[in-house]
Chains A and B, each alone.
Chain A
Amino acid sequence: MATRRNFLVGAAGLCGAAVFPVGAIPIAHSGSERARAVLFLSDRSGRPEPDIAVERRALSLDLAADPMNFDGAALLQQGHTALMAQGTPTTLFALRSQLGSHWRVIVKGLHGVDGPGLHRLETAGAVAPDLAAVLEGVQDEDAFAAVLMRLSGNASAMSTAENSVQHLRSRHWPGRARASLLAWPTRIL
């Protein structure tokens, strides 16, 4: 179906109009709640907490750069209500370029680039204290993915707030420097 802006590409920056709903971290979705359909993309086999409906897909730079694989409008039409991705910074840049304006990046993370256990999280200022508290208890990137996936909200309902870059600390996560991304849909097709 032809949809508005389903071909827009390149908005790799974090949208300035997204903030977390107060008290959103962490949200445990019980079985009685309507399951959210989270798309989890990773270039390694993580096992984030699956108490919500999680579809996992492999991610590589070549896959992420081709709209045949990741088209923002198509992902939304498939019913995904959140998108979480982990990979190299380049791979996530490419992925973000394909999502277009259907998706708002709520959290954009760089992990380990400044040193072991150090994180740069670009997000709305209002949520930074909550996220900092969460990070202290997160032991690896799979656990971090689980935290992000349990956040819920809709970017279109967000107020406008200044983005900020938070330099946070956790335990030393194993592995190389990585990037992460959480995006929410902005509009109903």
Chain B
Amino acid sequence: MAKILPPNVSEAAFRSFVAAAQNVVGKPYVFLDPDWDLTAYQDQYATTPKEMHQASAAVAPANLAQVQGILREAKQHGIPLWTISTGKNFAYGGPAPRAAGTVVLDLKRMNRIIEVNEKHAYAVVEPGVSYFDLYRHLQKIGSKLWIDPAAPGWGGVLGNLVDHGAGYTPYGDHLLMQCGMEVVLADGKVVETAMGALPGSKTTHLYKYGMGPWADGLFTQSNFGVVTRIGIWLMPEPPGYKPYMITYENEDDLHEITERVRPLKLNMVIPNAATTVEMLWETAVQTQKRDYYTGKGPLPDSARKKIREDLRIGVWNFYAAAYGPPPIMETNIEVVRDVLASIPGARMYFADERVGDVGWEYRERLMRGVPNMTEYNLMNWIPNGGHMDFSPISPVTGEDAVRQYHLIRDRCNKAGFDYIGEMLVGWRDMHHIFCLLYDVSDTDEKRRAHALFDELISAAADAGYGEYRTHLDFMDRIADTYGWNGGAQQKLHQRLKDQLDPAGILSPGKMGIWPKGRSPEVQS
């Protein structure tokens, strides 16, 4: 890989920045060699040439003062920075920057768990703390608090939250559970948000909103500042936990499942992420496609039937859990049984009936906050598996669930890919996650995957659905779909960007937000 420079930056200016950055963080933590060091900052699942997202350097500060120092030097030298925490965001581009030549601001050395407050049930962490780290720490100190991990446990607590990630316990809406934030603005100014703005505040991590506009959200999925610390509410270990699974025999059951889940979620009979999983997701975490089919294209019906028999799963597989004192759990489970297991052909399972089932076991752990990596086994479904996730939000209705399923599944199969998906119901919405799995060594397959993704964006937007998160390559495309009233929201983002980061040094292109005059459209 050849060395590159940041856009519109001279060799001399870049060298001057590097020297300054080395003074700030120490020479060992400025990375320059494209072959030996910077491969760590590539998107390993890229469907486009890796050069499109190649970093010119990476800088790893160890503390707040060093972050400020790097921002100061970046501003002075006109160097764009791309902020990452643990850098595991692989379905959405991993640690790679949106624009080639951007310097990665790698925060994983900032890995302190600053506080665990058992009484008020929260933790305060820096960007480099992974779910594994926080879980291990809580175990070590004998805490009775749970975390809410993303499915791959190596992800960062802060990074996942600021990218609007979700989990599987009742605390699964991560941004909702965030309380208190420390942000460094582009000019180096440090801001404590909400209650933290009060000197000597005793409620920084107890009340989210403070007084006046709630600013925290502006620093999520954005490039308006560098988040260096967050408070995160943790769920106290409940007196009881009882996960369950319900299998469904028919593809058409999706409509009825979703209709029946909605009131159970609205009324909090189901307190955690109510997850309806298509059979291939269940299958791919524990088998390989070649075990059932060695031909080209999507899995045929005959193989799907054999899989369902072998793994004792349905076409759809529903997961949730009851939490609390046993009498309350049993009452709620009876309601769930009456409502969801009464669909013809449905069968309800509990832990003792799924012993040894890989799919059950990792979800059972996720729903009680135990981080693990099992879901990553999806990548074993095909040789050299890599993925991008297409993630539209849906209303919780049977009609919308079926419409989205067909919208994605039909195009996906036509393009020669398996539909591997799940739908997670939160408070009022449903996250539909389609794991687009392809062979990263197959150029044609990557091209088709890229084209399919692009087609799905248009099809979903035409039907009134937008994505909540996306891969680097599609940030501009999806931002454009949020174009109501002449793109008023994008223009608002742009105005904020221009005011908060007039030099345009922070994460250019993140979620389609570019510094003035530097978007690809303007430059082309």
Q: Do A and B come from one complex?
A: yes
In-complex Cβ contact of B94 among A4, A10, A90, A176 (8 A): A10
Pairwise interchain contact A68-B154, C-beta atoms closer than 8 A: no
Task: Give the interface segment out of B40-48, B338-346, B423-431.
Answer: B40-48
At the interface, yes or no: B109 with Cβ under 8 Å from chain A?
yes
Task: Give the interface segment out of B374-382, B394-402, B498-506.
Answer: B374-382
Residues of B within 8 A of A66 (CB): 130, 132, 153-154
Residues of A within 8 A of B153 (CB): 62, 65-66
Rounded to whole Å, the gap between the CB of B399 and the closest CB of chain A is: 36
Q: Write out, one digit per residue, whether chain B residues 22-41 have a CB within 8 A of any chain A CB (1) or not (0).
A: 00000011010001110111
Pairwise interchain contact A110-B376, C-beta atoms closer than 8 A: no
At the interface, yes or no: B143 with Cβ under 8 Å from chain A?
no
Residues of A within 8 A of B39 (CB): 10-11, 13, 15, 101
Q: How far is the CA of A101 from the CA of B106 in the complex (A)?
A: 15
At the interface, yes or no: A148 with Cβ under 8 Å from chain B?
no
Q: Write out, one digit per residue, whether chain A residues 1-28 have a CB within 8 A of any chain B CB (1) or not (0).
A: 0111101111111011100000000000
Pairwise interchain contact B60-A7, C-beta atoms closer than 8 A: yes
Q: How far is the CA of A8 from the CA of B41 in the complex (A)?
A: 9
- Interface band, chain B: 35 or more
At the interface, yes or no: A143 with Cβ under 8 Å from chain B?
no
Residues of A within 8 A of B491 (CB): none
Rounded to whole Å, the gap between the CB of B520 and the closest CB of chain A is: 25
In-complex Cβ contact of A13 among B44, B95, B130, B372 (8 A): B44
Pairwise interchain contact A177-B154, C-beta atoms closer than 8 A: no
At the interface, yes or no: B324 with Cβ under 8 Å from chain A?
no
Pairwise interchain contact B28-A3, C-beta atoms closer than 8 A: yes
Q: How far is the CA of A65 from the CA of B88 in the complex (A)?
A: 10
Pairwise interchain contact A89-B44, C-beta atoms closer than 8 A: no
Residues of B within 8 A of A17 (CB): 35-36
Pairwise interchain contact A165-B44, C-beta atoms closer than 8 A: no
Rounded to whole Å, the gap between the CB of A74 and the closest CB of chain B is: 15
Residues of A within 8 A of B36 (CB): 15, 17, 101, 186
Q: Write out, one digit per residue, whether chain B residues 361-390 have a CB within 8 A of any chain A CB (1) or not (0).
A: 000000000001110111110011100000
A68 and B132 in contact (CB under 8 A), knowing A11-B40, A61-B373, A101-B40?
yes
A94 and B373 in contact (CB under 8 A), knowing A7-B108, A13-B44, A88-B380?
yes
Chain A residue, CB-CB nearest to B294 = A115
Pairwise interchain contact A65-B1, C-beta atoms closer than 8 A: no
Rounded to whole Å, the gap between the CB of A11 and the closest CB of chain B is: 4
A62 and B373 in contact (CB under 8 A), knowing A9-B87, A177-B383?
yes
Q: How far is the CA of A31 from the CA of B108 in the complex (A)?
A: 43
At the interface, yes or no: A49 with Cβ under 8 Å from chain B?
no
Rounded to whole Å, the gap between the CB of A102 and the closest CB of chain B is: 10
Rounded to whole Å, the gap between the CB of B490 and the closest CB of chain A is: 31
Q: Write out, one digit per residue, whether chain B residues 47-91 have a CB within 8 A of any chain A CB (1) or not (0).
A: 000000000000010000000000000000000000000111000
In-complex Cβ contact of B1 among A16, A68, A90, A115 (8 A): A16
At the interface, yes or no: B136 with Cβ under 8 Å from chain A?
yes
Interface centre among B28, B153, B373, B384 (most CB of A within 10 A): B373
At the interface, yes or no: A93 with Cβ under 8 Å from chain B?
yes
At the interface, yes or no: B291 with Cβ under 8 Å from chain A?
yes
Chain A residue, CB-CB nearest to B288 = A177
Pairwise interchain contact B441-A165, C-beta atoms closer than 8 A: yes
In-complex Cβ contact of A12 among B44, B136, B383 (8 A): B44
A15 and B291 in contact (CB under 8 A), knowing A65-B153, A89-B384?
no
Q: How far is the CA of A9 from the CA of B136 in the complex (A)?
A: 20
Which residues of A (57-91) have their CB < 8 Å from a CB of B? Answer: 61-62, 64-66, 68, 88-90
Rounded to whole Å, the gap between the CB of B210 and the closest CB of chain A is: 34
Residues of B within 8 A of A120 (CB): 383, 441
In-complex Cβ contact of B383 among A3, A7, A65, A110 (8 A): A110
Q: How far is the CA of A89 from the CA of B290 in the complex (A)?
A: 14
Query: Given A10-B41, A93-B379, list of 19 further CB < 8 A pairs?
Result: A3-B28, A5-B31, A8-B40, A10-B44, A13-B42, A15-B35, A62-B372, A62-B374, A65-B376, A68-B136, A89-B379, A89-B384, A90-B376, A94-B154, A100-B40, A101-B39, A113-B384, A165-B441, A177-B290
The 8 A-B pairs with the shortest beta carbon distances in the complex, nearest first, are: A113-B383, A4-B28, A11-B39, A8-B40, A11-B40, A10-B40, A61-B373, A65-B154
28 contacts across the A-B interface (CB closer than 8 A): A5-B31, A7-B108, A7-B109, A8-B40, A9-B40, A13-B39, A15-B39, A16-B1, A65-B152, A65-B153, A88-B377, A88-B380, A89-B379, A89-B383, A89-B385, A90-B377, A90-B378, A93-B44, A94-B376, A100-B40, A101-B37, A110-B384, A113-B290, A113-B383, A113-B384, A160-B35, A176-B291, A177-B383
- Contact surface of A with B, Cβ cutoff 8 Å: 2-5, 7-13, 15-17, 61-62, 64-66, 68, 88-90, 93-94, 97, 100-101, 110, 113-115, 120, 160, 165, 176-177, 186
